[in-house]
Chain A
Amino acid sequence: MSTAQLETGNPKLATDLKDLAQDIVRRAMSGGATAAECVIREDDEFSTLVRLGQVETLKESGSKAVGVRVFYGKRTASTYSSDFSRAGIDRMLSSALELAKITSEDPYAGIPDPSQFGALPGDLDLYFPDVYSLEQNASATRGEQKKPHSITIRALRIPKGARSMLPPVTRSSPTHMVS
Chain B
Amino acid sequence: MDRNRFFFQHYGLNERDLERYLAAALSAGGDYADLYFEYLSSTSLMVDESMVKSASQGISAGCGVRVIAGERTGYAYTDDLSPERILHAAHTAALIASGPAKTPTVGFQEKPARSLYPVTLPSVDAEITAKVELVMRADSAARAYDRRIKEVRASYADELRHILVVASDGTFAEDSQPLARMNVSCIAKTDASSARGSSGGGGRVALDFFFGEKTPEYFANESARQAILQLDAREAPAGEMEVVLGPGWPGVLLHEAIGHGLEADFNRKQTSAFTGLIGKRVASEKCTVVDNGTMPWRRGSLNVDDEGQPTQNTMLIEKGILKGYLSDKLSARLMGVADTGNGRRESYEHIPMPRMTNTYMLAGEEDPQDIIHSVKRGVYAVNFGGGQVDITNGKFVFSASEAYLIEDGQITAPIKGATLIGNGPDVLTRVSMVGNDLKLDEGVGTCGKDGQAVPVGVGIPTIKIDRLTVGGTAKKDVGSFMQ
Which chain A residues have a beta carbon within 8 Å of chain B's beta carbons? 45, 51, 54-65, 67, 76-83, 88, 91-92, 95-96, 98-100, 102-106, 109, 138-139, 141-143, 171-179
Contacts and interface: CB of A to CB of B under 8 A. Distances in A.
A51 B266 CA distance: 13
Interface stretch (B50-58, B107-115, B204-212, B290-298): B50-58
Which 9 pairs of residues, A with B, have the shortest CB-CB distance?
A173-B271, A104-B51, A80-B58, A142-B98, A77-B55, A82-B60, A82-B79, A103-B52, A57-B73
Given A179-B255, A179-B447, A79 B58 contact: yes
Contacts of A95: 57
15 contacts: A57-B96, A58-B75, A61-B76, A61-B92, A88-B59, A99-B55, A103-B51, A104-B50, A173-B266, A173-B271, A175-B271, A175-B449, A177-B448, A179-B252, A179-B456
A95 B92 CA distance: 35
A177 B391 contact: yes
A58 B96 contact: yes
B41 to A, nearest CB: 10
Interface stretch (B312-320, B381-389, B410-418, B431-439): B381-389
Given A56-B71, A61-B89, A142-B98, A179 B256 contact: yes
Contact of A54 (B72, B98, B128): B72
Given A57-B72, A61-B89, A179 B387 contact: yes
Contacts of A99: 55-57, 128
A177 B388 contact: yes
Interface residues of B, number: 55
Question: Which of A80, A138, A173 has most chain B Cβ within 10 Å?
Answer: A173
A68 B204 CA distance: 28
B95 interface: yes
Contacts of A56: 71-73
Interface in B56-107: 56-62, 71-79, 89, 92, 95-98
B62 A63 contact: yes
B448 A142 contact: no
B392 interface: yes
Interface of B: 28, 50-62, 71-79, 89, 92, 95-98, 128-129, 132, 252, 255-256, 260, 266, 269-271, 349, 351, 386-389, 391-392, 445-450, 456
Given A80-B57, A98-B128, 6 more contacts: A45-B349, A58-B72, A92-B59, A103-B53, A171-B269, A173-B269
Nearest to A177: B449
Contacts of A62: 78
A161 B169 CA distance: 39
A58 B448 CA distance: 21
A33 B205 CA distance: 34
User: Which secondary structure dominates where chain A touches chain B?
Assistant: mixed
A55 B70 CA distance: 11
Contacts, number: 153
A40 to B, nearest CB: 13
Given A138-B95, A142-B98, A173 B392 contact: yes
A63 B386 contact: no
A100 to B, nearest CB: 7
B79 A64 contact: yes
A82 B77 CA distance: 13
Contacts of A83: 59, 61
Contacts of B60: 65, 80-82
B51 A105 contact: yes
A59 B351 contact: yes
B455 to A, nearest CB: 11
B168 to A, nearest CB: 18
Contacts of B52: 102-104
Contacts of B449: 175, 177
B450 A175 contact: yes
A103 B55 contact: yes
A163 to B, nearest CB: 14
B97 A142 contact: yes
A51 B71 CA distance: 10
A77 B62 CA distance: 25
Contacts of A61: 75-78, 89, 92, 349
A164 B128 CA distance: 59
B129 A55 contact: no
B435 to A, nearest CB: 22
Contacts of B392: 173
